[in-house]
């Protein structure tokens, strides 16, 4: 970990938005999952939510570098996902064209907002639509009736970034101290973090330039090597 790399990671983490997310309601194509994750990282989304579909089980192979920096919570059903989001106080905005839908630019994305999107052709499920606080649509000026789901998410997230930037929400870290420090360590030292979790050990502190302040494994016995 170089000081330059550490500074870059700290800077990106300071811009993470803990109150902006996307719920992928059965998005079933891996390239769309990948594109959504990359866009989420670009605008500072800290955590995504999704149903545990096949595409999500493969996300580690197609998400690019974004999967190392955008957390993902998987849910077993739409009902469970909606209950979890409601329990955390999210305002649910369904991306869905209809007579009662607002222009996506009229939505307040500076609040605690979860943008809900569905699979290609099918869209957001009826269950998610019924639970939505509001519906938002992207105006279509051509012959098509909708955008690709990953493109639609990109359009809406960039509007969210515009609003949040104007409101000064990228000015300083908005994560709790504990979540900030934990995430920073996992970004900097993912393998050591994984080993610490396996051993049930706390992450060691980092120095000002990103080095380990202590070795968390000094007392871990070395496994003997045996010949077959």
Q: How many domains does the chain have?
A: 2
- Say if 227 falls within a structural domain: no
pTM: 0.87
User: Domain check: are 24 and 10 in the same one?
Assistant: no
Residue 221 lies in a domain: no
d(CA 173, CA 70): 16
Same domain, 183 and 120: no
pLDDT tens, per residue, the chain with 228 residues: 899 999 999 999 999 999 999 999 988 888 889 899 999 999 999 999 999 866 555 555 444 555 679 999 999 999 999 999 999 999 999 998 877 899 999 999 999 999 999 887 678 899 999 999 999 999 988 877 778 899 999 999 999 999 999 999 999 999 999 999 999 999 999 999 999 999 999 999 999 999 999 998 887 664 554 554
Q: Are residues 103 and 133 in the same domain?
A: yes
Q: Are residues 2 and 38 in the same domain?
A: no
Question: Residues 75, 8: one domain?
Answer: no
Phi-psi region of 26 (alpha: psi -120 to 50; beta: other; left: phi over 0): left
Sheet holding 113-118, edge to edge: 71-75, 47-51, 20-25, 113-118, 91-95, 134-137, 102-103
Bridge-based pairing state of the strands 91-95 and 134-137: parallel
In a domain, residue 225? The reply is no
Is the residue at 218 inside a domain? no
Question: Residue 93: which CATH number?
Answer: 3.40.1280.10
Nearest to 51 by CA among 77, 86, 85, 82: 77
Indicate whether 5 and 43 sit together in one domain.
Answer: no
Same domain, 39 and 29: yes
Give the domain range for residue 85: 17-166
Residues 137 and 185 in one domain: no
What integer pLDDT is reported at residue 222 of this predicted model? 47
Q: Do β-strands 91-95 and 47-51 pair in parallel, antiparallel, or remain unpaired?
A: unpaired
Strands (E), 109-197: 113-118, 134-137
- 224 within a domain of the structure (yes/no): no
Q: At what angle do helices 177-188 and 190-199 cross, to 10 degrees?
A: 120
Does 39 reside within a domain?
yes
> Buried (b) or exposed (e) across 164-187, using 16+ Cβ within 10 A?
beeeebbeebbbeeebbeebbbbb
My answer on whether 8 and 33 are in the same domain is: no
Q: How far is 115 from 23, CA to CA, in rounded Å?
A: 6
Task: Give me the pLDDT at residue 63, please.
Answer: 47
Q: Token pair of 176, please? A: 């709790």
Residues 11 and 21 in one domain: no
Three-state DSSP state, 217:
coil
Phi, psi of 195 (to 5 degrees): -65, -40
Same domain, 75 and 159: yes
pLDDT of residue 227: 53
Q: What is the pLDDT of residue 148?
A: 87
Is 138 found in the same domain as 178? no
Cβ contacts of residue 28 below 8 Å, gap of 6+? 53, 54, 55, 119, 120
Tell me whether residue 105 is in a domain: yes
């Amino acid at each position: 970990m170089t000081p330059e790399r550490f500074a870059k990671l700290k800077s990106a983490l300071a811009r993470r938005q803990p109150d902006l997310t996307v719920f992928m309601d059965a998005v079933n194509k891996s390239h769309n999952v990948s594109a959504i994750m990359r866009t989420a990282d670009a605008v500072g989304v800290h955590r995504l939510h999704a149903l545990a579909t096949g595409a999500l089980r493969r996300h580690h192979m197609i998400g690019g570098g974004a999967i190392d920096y955008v957390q993902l919570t998987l849910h077993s059903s739409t009902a469970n996902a909606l209950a979890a989001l409601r329990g955390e106080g999210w305002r649910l905005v369904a991306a869905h064209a209809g007579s009662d839908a607002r222009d996506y630019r009229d939505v307040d994305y500076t609040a605690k907002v979860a943008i809900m999107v569905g699979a290609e052709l099918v869209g957001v499920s009826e269950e998610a639509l019924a639970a939505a606080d509001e519906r938002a649509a992207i105006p279509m000026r051509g012959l098509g009736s909708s955008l690709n789901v990953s493109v639609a998410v990109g359009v809406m997230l960039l509007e969210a970034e515009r609003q949040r930037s104007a409101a000064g929400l990228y000015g300083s870290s908005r994560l709790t101290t504990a979540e900030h420090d934990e995430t920073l360590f996992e970004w900097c030292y993912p393998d050591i973090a994984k080993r610490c979790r396996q051993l049930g050990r706390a992450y060691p502190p980092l120095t000002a330039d990103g080095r380990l302040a202590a070795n968390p494994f000094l007392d871990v016995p070395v496994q003997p090597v045996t010949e077959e």
